[in-house]
Amino acid sequence: MTALLETRGVWQRFGGLVANSDVSISVGRGEIVGLIGPNGAGKSTLFNLIAGVLPPTQGSIWFDGEDVTHMPAAERCQRGVGRTFQVVKSFETMTVVDNVIVGALVRNTVMREARRKAHEVLEFTGLAGRADVLASDLVPAEKRRLEVARALATEPKLLLLDEVLTGLTPTEAQTGVALVRKVRDAGITVLMVEHVMEIVMPLVDRAIVLDLGKVLVEGKPADVVRDPKVISAYLGD
C-alpha cells in the first residue's frame, strides 16, 4: 500500500534562505512519525508545505495517492489533512465549543450536526467540562488541547501537530502523549513536530530529523537518539 503522505524532493527558499532543501519523507497509514530537529531546522516550513499554506519552490507533495502540490489549503483539509499551529490560533473571544464547531463545519454544513461533532470531539480530548468557557480563559495546556480538538473536528486522515507538547509540565505532557496515542488508535495517522526529544521519542514509531533544512537521519527512535550526527546537531557543533 502506498504511503499516506510523501514529499518528493521538496525545496523552500525564502529569498536567499533555504528553509527546506531536497526533503523527501513519507508517512505510512496508521503511523506516528516524529519530525524533530533544532530550532530553525525547517520543521514548521515543511508543515506549511504539507498543509498547503505555501507552495514549495520545487518538488512535489503527495497525499492519499494524489499530487496535492498545487492544491489550496482548504481543499487539502477537505481531503483529510488536519493541522495545529505552533503559535496557538484559537479564537480567544469565542467559547471552546464554538472554536471546535469552526473545525466541524468543514464537514458538516448543518449547524446542529457540527455542534454534535464538536461535543463528541471535546469528549474525546477531555475538554467536555470546558465547552462553554471562553478560549481566552483556558490554561496553556488546555489551549493546546483545544487546537488538537479543532483539528480533529475536521475529521482528518492525517493530523499534523506542531509542538503541541512543548512548554507543558511533565504531567501535562504525559496527558498530551496519551491523547496522541488515542488519536492514532482511532485510526488517524500522526506527523508531529517536537523540539524536545525526550517527550516524542517514546511515543513515535519512526523519527525523522531535520537539520539546516535537510533530512539528517531517519529511523527507529532508539537508533536515531544514538546517532552521532543527531547528537552533534543538537549540541550545535
Residue pair 151/82 in contact (Cβ under 8 Å)? The answer is yes
Q: How far is CA 70 from the centre of its chain?
A: 20
Sole window of 11-19, 85-93, 127-135, 136-144 interacting with Mg ion (rule: CB under 5 A): 85-93
Site string for ligand ADP, 165-204 (x = CB under 6 A): ----------------------------------------
Told to check if 14 binds ligand ADP by CB under 6 A, we report yes
Please report how close the Cβ of residue 20 comes to ligand ADP at its closest, in angstroms: 8
Interacting positions 15-54 with ligand ADP (CB under 6 A): 17, 19, 37, 39-45
Dihedral angle, C-alpha 202, 163, 99, 156, nearest 10 °: -60
Choose from Mg ion, ligand ADP, none: what does 41 bind? Cβ within 5-8 Å by kind: ligand ADP
Site string for Mg ion, 31-70 (x = CB under 5 A): ------------xx--------------------------
User: What single letter denotes the amino acid at residue 234?
Assistant: Y
Nearer to ligand ADP (CB atom), residue 5 or residue 210:
210
Q: Taking CA 168 as the corner, what is the angle to CA 176 and CA 146, rounded to the nearest 5 degrees?
A: 55
Residue pair 96/132 in contact (Cβ under 8 Å)? The answer is yes
CA distances from 32 to 204, 207, 208 (A): 5, 9, 11
Told to check if 74 binds ligand ADP by CB under 6 A, we report no
Number of CB atoms found within 10 A of residue 198's CB: 10
Please report how close the Cβ of residue 105 comes to Mg ion at its closest, in angstroms: 27
Number of CB atoms found within 10 A of residue 225's CB: 18
Please report how close the Cβ of residue 38 comes to ligand ADP at its closest, in angstroms: 7
Q: How far is CA 68 from the centre of its chain?
A: 17
Spatial distance between the Cα atoms of 37 and 213, rounded to a whole number of angstroms: 9
Choose from Mg ion, ligand ADP, none: what does 7 bind? Cβ within 5-8 Å by kind: none
Nearer to ligand ADP (CB atom), residue 43 or residue 76:
43
Spatial distance between the Cα atoms of 169 and 175, rounded to a whole number of angstroms: 10
Residues that bind ligand ADP (CB under 6 A): 14, 17, 19, 37, 39-45
Residues that bind Mg ion (CB under 5 A): 43-44, 86
